Amino acid sequence: MDKKQLPGTNIMLSPITYGAFAIGGWFWGGADEGDAIKAIEAAIENGVTTIDTAPVYGMGHSEIVVGNTIKGKRDKVQLLTKFGMIWDAEKGDFAFESKDNQDKPVKIYKFNGKQSVIDECERSLKRLQTDYIDLFQMHWPESTTPIEETMEALEILKTQGKILAAGVCNCPVDLLERANAVLPIATNQVAYSMVNRGIEKDLVPFCLKNGIGILPHTSLQKGLLTGKIKPGHVFNHGDHRPNTPYFKEHNHKEVMKMLDAVKHIADERDISLAQLALNWTMRQPAVTSVLVGARNASQMLENVKAASFILTDEEINNINNALLQIDLIL
């Protein structure tokens, strides 16, 4: 599996990153920890050596599972985690109300204060059972802390060797420009998929000009682009997807029509629609590595296959033409 360089570093990332969002057991209707461990092990054994997590995924649980699983394999993986979504203090911008894995109510806040970032890093290092993080990312911008202050914290952590590179997530161009003026930003992790292409207008050109990589998340549009979730699907308790725009009835049907239009490409290559969507995403400008979740080893192995081929320019054009026909109401 050909690797890509994390901009501004000597770190090489796998073209697919294991996204450890769901294995926190929170927000997606629960997860089996044993299956999650096997999924991570399958990823590493098959060349997907980059793992992305965050403290808020299960209130620390995702990081703990990752840390336990990579014990003895730290030199084989690249650890990406985040900071700035807290549940133990009411600081910064209120984000949303949720429940922890014990079904207890929690309030999540976005907060990127300098000392808080440094403290969060220490806690993440302990949960991940490592002495350094390859890429430490600001999870969300917030209004109470100047981004320059947040970057100063990352500069301190980088000087101390506790992080090797600084990144941001969900960051618009104006804030990304300010952050990059303080400390070189390696990546911006943002939502991007075949049906969610808003970043192409301004963010992608800025990243290309400034040598910043894009780490797309939600590239399968929360499972919608697999083609397996049909209209009328009944989701598990606690699963947030039915309330998201792309799963509303009209949009769901529009995406299904698009998938029907490109299915022949997948059939001719003997690949799945998910593998087609992931490979399309890998081919897009400025993309360094595509985040994909997997609840078990079988799902992970399916994702690995997405990096085993290269779509031709003709196939990309055919897919893009099909995407132009979608009429989404967002």
Residue 68: the pLDDT is: 94
The sign one gets for the Cα dihedral 122, 124, 130, 134 is: negative
SS3 content of the chain, % helix, strand, coil (to 5): 40, 20, 40
Burial class (CB in 10 A: 0-12, 13-18, 19+), 225: buried
Portion of the chain with pLDDT greater than 90, in percent: 84
CA distance 219 to 105: 29
What residues have CB less than 8 Å from 23, skipping those under 6 apart? 31, 33, 36, 39, 40, 57, 58, 61, 62, 65, 66, 293, 295
Q: What angle do CA 318, 322, 325 make, to 5 degrees?
A: 150
Supply the CATH classification number for the domain 4-224+273-310.
3.20.20.100
Residue 35: the pLDDT is: 87
> Is 57 designated active site?
yes
| Cα–Cα distances in angstroms (integers) from residue 173 to residues 169, 180, 201, 209, in the given order | 11, 10, 11, 12
User: Regarding beta strands 105-110 and 4-5, do their DSSP bridges make them parallel or antiparallel, or are they unpaired?
Assistant: unpaired
The larger pLDDT score, comparing residue 21 to residue 186, is at: 186
User: What residue type is 76 in one-letter code?
Assistant: K
CA distance 282 to 304: 12
pLDDT in tens, 74-130: 999 999 999 999 999 999 999 999 887 777 889 999 999 999 999 999 999 999 999
| Cα–Cα distances in angstroms (integers) from residue 14 to residues 9, 17, 41, 226, in the given order | 14, 6, 15, 21
In this prediction, residue 29 has a pLDDT band, given cuts at 50, 70 and 90, of: very low
Q: Where are the domains of the chain?
A: 4-224+273-310
- Compute the average pLDDT of residues 172-181: 98
Residue 83: both structure tokens together: 């900071």
In this prediction, residue 41 has a pLDDT band, given cuts at 50, 70 and 90, of: very high
pLDDT in tens, 214-273: 999 999 998 999 999 998 888 887 777 888 999 999 999 999 999 999 999 999 999 999
CA distance 40 to 241: 23
Residue 23: the pLDDT is: 77
Question: Which position has the token pair 């003895």?
Answer: 72
What residues have CB less than 8 Å from 221, skipping those under 6 apart? 193, 194, 195, 196, 246, 255
Q: What angle do CA 191, 319, 49 make, to 5 degrees?
A: 45
What residues have CB less than 8 Å from 117, skipping those under 6 apart? 83, 84, 150, 153, 154, 157
Q: Between helices 61-69 and 33-45, what is the axis angle to 10°?
A: 50
Name the active-site residue from 57, 109, 192, 246.
Answer: 57
